[in-house]
Structure 1
Amino acid sequence: MARPKISRRICGRAPYSCFKPNGVPTHSLTQVQLLPEEFEALRLADLEGLSQLDAAAQMQVSRQTFGNIVASARYKVAQCLVHGQALMLNQEMENEQ
């Protein structure tokens, strides 16, 4: 049985729900889901420029967990940019504080 997921503190929201190539209908693209915690990790690490330790403290997770989350988010963003896929931003913020 898998361990239960620990709550993450998420403060940022995406101003849109999808980022995709121009001129291509969303339904014809492969869609990649970016979780709210991944969006928040990108915001803290890449936009705010926080260290992994500081960003992990803000999200209330361990540094290793934060590193895993931001690595997953960066992979998904790169995948979408390189392969012309749609990046779908999940707007549900269950653990928002």
Structure 2
Amino acid sequence: MSRQKVLRKIFAPPQFTGFKPYGCSGGCKGSVELFYEEYEAIKMADYDLLNYEEAAVLMGIS
């Protein structure tokens, strides 16, 4: 039996579709894909100065 889906709280989805690092001129072809939940956790840690456990509580995940 599969696990139940958990509703996650995303407070502000990203307002962009992609970006590249500064100083990367054509030679950088690799990409990294993030889920909304991953983006939100990083944003809360970096900009809201929360640790990942506090961010998880706000997002309603473990």
Where structure 2 has 5 or more consecutive residues not aligned to the other structure, the ranges are: none
Q: Tell me how many residue pairs correspond in the alignment.
A: 60
Q: What is aligned with 1:56?
A: 56
Please tell me whether residue 23 in structure 1 is matched to residue 25 in structure 2: yes
Q: What is aligned with 2:37?
A: 37
2 and 39 in structure 1: CA distance in 2 versus 1, 3 angstrom threshold = same
Is the 2:9–2:58 Cα contact (8 Å) retained in structure 1?
yes
Aligned 1:1-97 pairs, distance under 5 A: 2-21=2-21, 22-24=24-26, 29-62=29-62
Considering fraction of residues, name the structure with more helix.
Answer: 1
RMSD of Structure 2 on Structure 1 (CA): 2.4
Where structure 1 has 5 or more consecutive residues not aligned to the other structure, the ranges are: 63-97
Q: CA deviation at 1:12?
A: 1.7
Distance 1:20 1:4 in 2: 35
Is the 1:12–1:43 Cα contact (8 Å) retained in structure 2?
no
The structure number with the bigger radius of gyration is 2
* TM-score, normalising length: structure 2: 0.69
2:33 partner SS: strand
Would you identify which runs of 4 or more consecutive aligned residues in structure 1 move more than 3 Å? none
Percent identical pairs in the alignment equals 35
Distance 2:26 2:2 in 1: 39
Comparing 7-16 and 33-42, the one that deviates more: 7-16
